[in-house]
Chain A
Amino acid sequence: MAGTTNQQGAFRLEGLTKTFYPILPWHRSRAVDAVQGVDLVVPRGCVFSLLGPNGAGKTTIIKIIAGLILPTTGRVTFYGKDGDKLRSRPRLGAVLEGSRNLYWRLSPMENLYYFGELKGLSLAQIKRESEELLEMFDLTHKARASTQTLSRGMQQKVAVAVALLGKPDILLLDEPTLGLDVESSRLIQQRLRELVERDDRTIILTTHQMELAARVADRIGILSEGKLIAEDSLSNLVAFFRQQDYELELPRLEWEQLRADVSAFRFTEGQSAANEEMRVTFHLDNREGYYALSELLLARRPEFTTIRQVTPSLEDIFLQITQHYSDGEDGGGA
């Protein structure tokens, strides 16, 4: 049983596409292809982080999973069951537009009670969890203030609290830490890890903060122009890109002699000065690259200080993947 659910994942997207048509039929040429054929299985008990540039389709995918947007084709299944069937749908919680997902005229506590009741929680449970959540986010003193008088970050925290209320099976978080201070952002990360590790919940999270994704996510998906162009565990992505990036450190004098060759070398990624040293990075994305670099070094035999593999940050990986992808697109189009 556990085997089958794990294979099916907590939820699964199959052949998902979404085209937004303008409301007026004669404007059909202005249709937007927001999602273009996304297949994805997110296993249970995992934080999946969806990354991508603005307009890549992250929010659209999150809203399709939430049932707020109907896909043009394809489908969403939860634990192997059709997402359209409300009866078998697991409990979802979401932060979609953050502060805008609340009643501004009600207090944080009243918002929590209202949405708690909609979730079908008992009053006792709502009371217990709300107090705890507000306490955690340091909002107890604002519990009864009108939400519109709270700061943006505070409102965002209330929205996160509403999403966490009742520990939903699947959490959909669209930029949950937008505008939050470092401490609150850390608190949320901690809480999310707890939910995943202790309660076996599943979380999908979009963000533009790479450090956040790197710290909290088990798996990463990178979206570009509506397509999922990379999807793997964070450690695999890092391992993959580590093999490709090398850093060469050498004294300035040596560098002066090597300069022309290195600049012309096609696997050179960049160079920077570090004290008396020069640092050159190479991106070797195929075997040819290793041979070429070896030949260069053999031919010139520079007195280098060190040469080492670089552990790329998620940000580096993200930029490389998305840039590489859009270059490929341009090349294909020409």
Chain B
Amino acid sequence: MKRALKLFRAEVVRSVLLTIRYPIELFVGLFIMYMLFMGLFLGARSLVGDTQVLNASLDGFIISYIMWFFVISAIGRLAFHIESEAQMGVLEQIFLTYPRMLSLMLVRSAVDFCMSLLVVTVLLFSIMATTGKWLAIGTGNILQILVLLVVTVTGIYGFGLIFAGLALVFKRIGQVGSIMQFAFFFLAYLPVEQLTGWLKVAVYSLPLTLGVSLIKTVVVEHGSVFSGPESWLLLGLVINSVAYLLVGSVVFLICERKSRMDGRLGQY
């Protein structure tokens, strides 16, 4: 446990230092995410024409967007990071010093989540301030939202581990990662609630979808996931996330082994 805390501290320091040393990356990223949202928002408004209709579904729109941000972080940052560290050569030094790579990746995911949470807060406030649409987040539902957020994000980072593993073996997976991020953009906006039958089950068993829909239940429809029939869905979400975490971990371990077999932890 003490070791885990030391790791956590080391990763926080590294991550904060790298961020503040090159703040441009952070600001540009934030700015692009903000502009992308505004583009979508203004585009949708000119298409729909009717501001009323759009405003009615705007909170759901914002929630999907914000949750997509975590996907970008989990799939993008973690996997790209490993890719560039392998190319730099620093990955070998890290592995040699701390060979339990999966634990390190989990700690990194936790740190990355905390950092993303800060960025997301800024992004969310900017979005809410410019659109004038304030999400109903308050003392009444903040606990539920946080629980849903953490559980959903656990699944997303689990899924991200698959890409981190693939990055170890194949090195250049940037392209696939980008395509994946857009696939998730689609998933985040899929009107899952309107699907029925097996299709619904299939879509819900992907990462992200169920979590987004539950957060909407809490924030938009003022429902509760701690009681009533929705609590079963929360259980489903927990199972979904744990499953992705397990699958991601196993894939990562297999890839790590494969990478060591091929001598590809470095940039050979």
- Which of A's residues lie within 8 Å of B, judged by CB? 18, 20-21, 23, 60, 63, 66-70, 86, 89, 92, 94, 96-97, 100-106, 110, 113-115, 117-120, 146, 162
B265 at interface, CB cutoff 8 A:
yes
Contact yes or no, B6 A102, CB < 8 A: no
Given B7, B100, B263, which contacts A60 in the complex, CB threshold below 8 Å? B263
Q: Mark B88-112, 1 if CB is under 8 A from A, else 0.
A: 1110111111111000000000000
Q: How far is the CA of A115 from the CA of B10 in the complex (A)?
A: 8
Flag whether B257 is at the interface (Cβ < 8 A). Answer: yes
Closest B residue by C-beta to A99: B89
- Contact call A118/B92, Cβ cutoff below 8 A: no
The answer to whether B262 touches A94 (Cβ under 8 A) is no
Q: Are A113 and B13 touching (Cβ within 8 A)?
A: yes
Contact A97 B18 (CB under 8 A): no
- Is B266 touching A97 in the complex (CB atoms < 8 A)? yes
CB within 8 Å for A101 and B89 given contacts A67-B96, A117-B7, A118-B7: yes
User: Which B residue's beta carbon lies closest to that of A115?
Assistant: B97
Asked whether B17 lies within 8 Å of A69 as measured between CB atoms, the reply is no
Closest Cβ of chain A: how far from B90's Cβ, in Å? 6
* Known contacts A102-B93, A115-B93, A118-B97, A23 near B262 by CB under 8 Å: yes
Additional A-B contacts beyond A66-B92, A69-B260, A114-B10 (4; CB < 8 A): A20-B263, A69-B261, A105-B21, A117-B7
Contact A70 B260 (CB under 8 A): yes
Chain B, residues 9-27, CB within 8 Å of chain A (1/0): the string is: 1100110011001100000
- In the bound complex, do residue A94 and residue B100 qualify as a contact, i.e. CB atoms below 8 Å apart? no
Could you list some 30 contacts between A and B, CB below 8 A?
A18-B263, A20-B262, A21-B262, A23-B169, A23-B170, A67-B99, A68-B92, A68-B96, A68-B265, A69-B261, A69-B265, A70-B261, A86-B100, A94-B93, A96-B89, A97-B92, A100-B89, A101-B92, A102-B93, A103-B14, A104-B88, A106-B21, A110-B17, A113-B13, A114-B14, A115-B97, A117-B6, A118-B97, A118-B98, A119-B98
Candidate in A18, A70, A102 with the most chain B CB atoms within 10 angstroms: A70
Complex: how many Å from CA A119 to CA B94? 9
Determine the distance from Cα of A104 to Cα of B123 in the docked complex, in whole angstroms.
30
Specify which chain A residues have a CB less than 8 angstroms from the CB of B95 in the assembled complex. 67-68
Check if B14 sits within 8 Å of A106, measured CB to CB: yes
- The contact string, 1 if C-beta is below 8 Å from chain A, for chain B 228-264, is 0000000000000000000000000000010011110
For chain B, the count of residues having a C-beta within 8 Å of the partner chain is: 32
- B266 to chain A: which residues have CB within 8 Å? 63, 68, 96-97
A21–B263 Cα gap in the complex (Å)?
A: 10
B6: chain A residues within 8 A (beta carbon):
117, 120
Structural contact, A100 and B96, CB atoms closer than 8 A: no
Q: How far is the CA of A119 from the CA of B95 in the complex (A)?
A: 11
Q: Which residues of B contact A94 (CB under 8 A)?
A: 93, 96
A122 to B, closest residue via Cβ = B6
Nearest CB of B to A209, in Å:
22
Residue among A68, A110, A119 with most chain B CB within 10 A: A68
Supposing A113-B13, A117-B9, A120-B3 touch, asked if A96 and B260 sit within 8 A by C-beta, the answer is: no
Q: CA separation between A51 and B10, bound complex, in Å?
A: 37
Contacts of A110 in B (CB 8 A): 13-14, 17
Rounded to whole angstroms, the CA-CA distance of A68 and B170 in the bound complex is: 16
Closest 5 pairs between A and B when the two form their complex, measured CB to CB = A100-B89, A117-B10, A101-B93, A97-B89, A118-B97
Contact B263 A105, beta carbon cutoff 8 Å? no
Closest Cβ neighbor of A103 among chain B residues: B90
User: Which residues 1-46 of B have a CB within 8 angstroms of A?
Assistant: 3, 6-7, 9-10, 13-14, 17-18, 21-22
- List of B residues within 8 angstroms of A120 by Cβ: 3, 6
Given the known inter-chain contacts A86-B99, A105-B21, A120-B6, please indicate yes or no for A114 contacting B92, CB distance below 8 A: no
- Tell me which of B7, B96, B97, B257 has the highest count of chain A C-beta atoms within 10 A of its own C-beta: B97
Residues of A within 8 A of B170 (CB): 23
A contact residues around B88 at 8 Å (CB): 100, 103-104
Tell whether, in the assembled complex, residue B14 and residue A66 are in contact, meaning their CB atoms are under 8 Å apart: no
Q: A114-B10, A114-B14 are in contact. Are A162 and B93 (CB under 8 A)?
A: yes
Find A101's partner among B10, B90, B261 (CB 8 Å cutoff).
B90
Least CB distance, B252 to chain A, in whole angstroms:
16
In angstroms, Cα B89 to Cα A201, docked, is 26
Residues from chain A with Cβ under 8 Å of B99 in the complex: 67, 86, 89
Contacts of B89 in A (CB 8 A): 96-97, 100-101
Residue numbers in A under 8 Å from B169 (CB-CB): 23
Chain B residue contacts of A102, Cβ below 8 A:
90, 93
Chain B hits for A100, CB < 8 A: 88-90
Chain A proximity of B145: nearest CB distance (Å): 33
Chain A residues in 8 Å Cβ range of B93: 94, 96, 101-102, 115, 162
Q: Would A105 and B90 count as touching, CB distance under 8 A?
A: no
* Interface core residue of B3, B17, B169 (most chain A CB under 10 Å): B17
